[in-house]
Each structure stands twice: as C-alpha cells, then as structure tokens.
C-alpha cells in the first residue's frame, strides 16, 4: 500500500506576519483571520482605552 | 506545515469556555498562532476536511480529552447517554498525520490534557507513552502546564515562565469585560476571532 503523504503535507511554512514584539522578545503574530464584531481600528482604540485605566502595563 | 501554528483540540461548550480562552492566551503569548475548528469556512469545507487541513498545517497540537464521558442528549432520546468522541477522533487524526505524513509531519509535537494523569488508561490506553498532563479541571494548572510545555518543546527561552504567564492572564481577564463592553458584549459572548485579536492587540500595546 502506498503510504506516501500528499505533497501539501510536505511543505514547510512561509514566515508568519508579526503584529508586535513584547518587552521580553516574544513575537506576537498577526491573527490569520479578521475580527468579526470589530474593525481593527475599533479594537486598537478599545484596547488603548482599557489600558489607560488598567494598572497593569508592563510586558 | 507551520512551525508557529498550534492546533487546539478541545470541547467548544460553554462550560469549557474559560479553559479554551486560557489556552488561546498562552499560545499567543508564547509567540504562536492558535488554530482550531472554529476558524472560518473560507473554502466551503465540510468540517472533517477543514480539521484535516488545519492539522496538516500545525506543528504543535494541544489536545484536551477531559470531556470524554457519557452525556445526556435531548429528553426522550433513548440512544443517550452517549460519549463525545470528537476530541479523541481529532487526537487520532493528529497522531496519524505525525505517524504517516512523511518527514515534515513527523516533526509534530503533541500534548494531551485530561482531568487527572491516569484516567486515560481506562478508555484510551493505547496512547500510553505520549505526553499526558493533568489540568485537574482548573485553569491555573492548565496555563502553567501548557506554558511549561510550549517553552520546552519549542526551545524558545523567550516564552514566559508559568508564574509570569499566569499573572499576565489574570491582568488580561481584568480588562476583557471592558473590551467586550465597547461592543456591548459580555466576555462569554465574544467570538473566537475577536478574542484572538483582543489578546494579540492587548499584548502589542502593553509592550509599548
């Protein structure tokens, strides 16, 4: 029986897109799919606003 | 296969949602991309085909078989109780891809979570020898164990240690209700794609 895997199984990846880098050097990758109930701008604004009022801002 | 992609095989029921969100958080904070069956059907996939495609693309697999058990169905359906088999099926697919998928797929790394360390021997003993971890049904154990595992198998020393990961997750859960409220949503109502973006964007901005 031929156990050869399909060609698509054998491909190595392209480099993922990076959204940002944390202070400890971890690359936060850009999500593969767009948000559904927000635009990206709305999300950025919502996070910025939440962080303004949050005591924890260091990583 | 993508070295940054982590396949998450777990229940998608409401009572597992806290665990699921914790796994997604740890995966993103460790520098990886979460992948799961909740992704969009952009090519009109049937579910099985979609899962196979995602599994083929992921180097890492996080499998939680803790919900393997008997469940009641709709009232009056005499066939119930029946087991939920989707998680063991997807675990089997992942193991099959690793075993028979050629040299690239053979590099896959797997961790399996259950309620305790030994329960799996009573219903899926053939996976003995695999990396089986207990999360004891609590999010703290799940986060710390998964962070430790990802740090170890990826050999990335930048992945935060378990205590740091846990502290960050707690910080994030404090702002999650505020983020959701901006779209008049409750945290338990937020959709998968939005949650992934919230976590990623929060981490990006927090580092600035």
Question: Does residue A31 belong to any structural domain of this protein?
Answer: yes
In a domain? residue A2:
no
Name every residue whose Cβ is closer than 8 Å to that of residue B191 and which is 6 or more positions away in sequence: A36, A37
Confirm or reject contact between B151 and chain A (CB < 8 A): no
* Other Cβ atoms closer than 10 A to B97: 22
- Please check whether residue A11 lies inside any domain of the structure: no
Q: Where residue A7 falls among pLDDT bands split at 50, 70, 90?
A: low
Are A51 and B174 within 8 A, CB to CB? Answer: no
Residue A9 lies in a domain: no
Question: pLDDT tens across A11-40, in order?
Answer: 656 688 999 999 999 999 999 999 988 899
State the pLDDT confidence band at A58, using cuts at 50, 70 and 90.
Answer: low
User: Looking at residue A13, what is its pLDDT?
Assistant: 62
- Return the number of CB contacts < 8 Å for A and B: 146
- Tell me if A37 is assigned to some domain: yes
- Structural domains in chain B, CATH included, are 2-160 (3.40.50.450)
User: Within the 40-79 window of chain B, which residues sit less than 8 Å (CB to CB) from chain A?
Assistant: 40, 56-57
Q: Is residue A39 part of a domain?
A: yes
Q: So what's the ipTM on this one? A: 0.88
Contact B179 A25 (CB under 8 A): no
Distance (Å, rounded) from C-alpha B41 to C-alpha B57? 15
The pLDDT score that the predictor gives to residue B43 is 59
Based on the structure, what is the number of domains in chain A? Answer: 1
Orientation of helix B192-206 relative to helix B162-181, angle to 10°:
120
**Which residues are bridge partners to A28 per DSSP?**
A20
What is the domain extent for residue A23?
16-53
Q: Measured between CB atoms, which of A12, A22, A26 is closest to B1?
A: A12
Name every chain A residue with its beta carbon within 8 A of the beta carbon of B29. Answer: 22, 26, 28
Q: Does residue A28 belong to any structural domain of this protein?
A: yes
Contacts of B31 in chain A (CB under 8 A): 26-29
Grouping H, G, I as helix, E, B as strand and the rest as coil, residue B71 is strand
Q: Is the separation of the CB atoms in B141 and A7 below 8 Å?
A: no
Spell out the per-residue pLDDT of chain B, length 208, in tens: 999 999 999 999 888 999 999 999 999 999 999 999 998 766 566 889 999 999 999 999 999 999 988 888 888 899 988 988 899 999 999 999 999 999 999 999 999 999 998 888 888 888 888 889 999 999 999 999 999 999 999 898 889 999 999 999 999 999 999 999 988 889 889 999 999 999 999 999 998 8
Q: Is A33 close to B196, i.e. CB distance below 8 A? A: yes
Distance of residue B186 Cα from the nearest chain A Cα, in angstroms: 13
For position A44, what pLDDT does the model report? Answer: 94
Tokens representing residue B167 in the block: 């502290």
For residue A7, is it within any domain?
A: no
Q: Write out pLDDT tens, residues B55-77.
A: 999 999 999 999 988 888 888 89
Chain A residues within an 8 Å CB radius of B3: 12-13
Task: State the nearest Cα–Cα gap between B71 and chain A, in angstroms.
Answer: 32
pLDDT of residue A9: 59
């Amino acid at each position: 029986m031929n156990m050869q895997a399909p060609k698509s199984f054998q491909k190595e990846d392209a480099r993922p897109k990076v959204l940002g880098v944390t202070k400890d050097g971890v690359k936060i990758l850009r999500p593969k799919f767009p948000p559904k109930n927000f635009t990206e701008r709305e999300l950025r604004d919502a996070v910025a606003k939440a962080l303004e009022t949050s005591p924890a801002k260091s990583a | 296969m993508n070295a940054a992609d982590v396949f998450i095989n777990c229940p998608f029921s409401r009572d597992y949602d806290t665990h699921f969100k914790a796994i997604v958080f740890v995966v993103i904070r460790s520098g990886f991309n979460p992948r799961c069956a909740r992704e969009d059907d952009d090519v009109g996939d049937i579910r099985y085909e979609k899962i196979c495609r995602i599994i083929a693309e992921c180097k890492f697999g996080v499998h939680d078989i803790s919900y393997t058990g008997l469940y009641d169905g709709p009232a009056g359906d005499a066939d119930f109780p029946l087991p939920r088999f989707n998680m063991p099926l997807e675990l089997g697919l992942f193991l099959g891809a690793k075993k028979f998928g050629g040299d690239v797929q053979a590099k896959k790394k797997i961790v399996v979570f259950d309620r305790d360390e030994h329960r799996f021997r009573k219903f899926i003993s053939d996976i003995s020898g695999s990396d089986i971890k207990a999360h004891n049904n609590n999010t703290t154990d799940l986060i710390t164990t998964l962070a430790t595992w990802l740090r170890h198998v990826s050999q990335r020393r930048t992945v935060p240690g378990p205590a740091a990961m846990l502290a960050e997750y707690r910080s994030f859960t404090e702002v999650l209700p505020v983020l959701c409220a901006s779209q008049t949503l409750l945290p338990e109502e937020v959709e998968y794609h939005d949650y992934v973006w919230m976590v990623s964007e929060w981490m990006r901005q927090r580092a600035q």
